[in-house]
Amino acid sequence: MNNNTNTIIVLLAITAAILGAILVGSYTAGPAYAEVSVKQGDYIMGPIGFSNARQLVYVIDMTANKLNTYALNKQNGTVSPVESAPIDLDKCFIKSREKD
């Protein structure tokens, strides 16, 4: 065998390995879910996948810089706050702009 034939065989083997890995990965990967946030007025709301039985929804109040998180329980159809008090975002993040 000459050198060109060996090179072609190696390239075909590498291509087959890559295609095989892609094929195995496509059958073993879990489903992908899109999470969408919604801005309405001074509020931003969005879902957070927690488990199959329980989902979370975050609500950001942009005027007060507060974050509230609510748990949606699908089994009994209830909505309850996760934290007893809203999280103050000013304390969590350093403001990017300097105050005059």
- The C-alpha atoms of residue 34 and residue 36 are separated, in whole angstroms, by 6
pTM of the model: 0.53
Domain boundaries, the chain: 1-31, 38-92
Which position has the higher pLDDT, 73 or 86? 86
pLDDT in tens, 21-63: 888 877 766 665 656 778 888 898 888 876 666 788 889 898 8
pLDDT class for 94, splitting at 50, 70, 90? low
Amino acid at 91: K
Phi, psi for residue 39 in degrees, rounded to 5:
-105, 120
